[in-house]
Amino acid sequence: MESDDCLFCRIVRGDIPADVVAEGELWVAFRDIQPQAPVHVLIIPRRHVDSIGELKEGDASLAGELLIAAAEVARLEDVDESGYRVVTNVGERAGQSVFHLHVHVLGGRRMRWPPG
Ligand code: 5GP
Ligand code: ZN
């Protein structure tokens, strides 16, 4: 799927407002509308990809950029020293509700393991 119907493609295009905290050439990072921790930022590729399950060998730089962006967001949000979690849900059963790849960066509180 691309785009008219995809919520996060609409955020990338600026059709829907978002609280953007950082941007790169390939990605945008913005605050989750329903934060599950004091810091909860989503990092999404500008290009529509359903989930990491769709990434191919040629997407290695994109995949790497998303992880590097997660660390950058953690520094910007000042949770790099206190600790943070980086999560991407794949499929409805794993908790994915928006089918445009996104990496959650969660921090500012103690995280439990295993996750629910
Ligand atoms: P998922 O459940 O797919 O892993 O994560 C989707 C996330 O997107 C959820 O944490 C949800 O709160 C967030 N979300 C859903 N709609 C919007 C929106 O319109 N704006 C923002 N900023 N976040 C959203
Ligand atoms: Zn999309």
Sorted by where each starts, the structural domains of the chain and their CATH numbers stand as: 7-107 (3.30.428.10)
Sheet with 27-31, edge to edge strand ranges: 20-23, 27-31, 39-45, 103-107, 84-87
> Which segments of the chain does DSSP mark as H helices, in order?
7-13, 60-76
Ligand 1 neighbour 33 (Cβ under 6 A): yes
| pLDDT attached to residue 4 | 80
Computed over every residue of the chain, the mean pLDDT equals 97
Q: How confident is the model at residue 2 (pLDDT cuts 50, 70, 90)?
A: low
Does the structure show a pLDDT above 60 at 1? Answer: no
- What 3-state class would DSSP assign to 20? strand
57-96 pLDDT, tens digit per residue, is 999 999 999 999 999 999 999 999 999 999 999 999 999 9
CA nearest ligand 1 atom 17, residue: 33
In sequence order, which residues have a C-beta less than 8 Å from that of residue 78 and are 6 or more positions away? none
DSSP label at residue 81: T
12-39 pLDDT, tens digit per residue, is 999 999 999 999 999 999 999 999 999 9
| pLDDT attached to residue 116 | 86
CA of 36 to the centre of ligand 1 (A): 11
pTM comes to 0.97
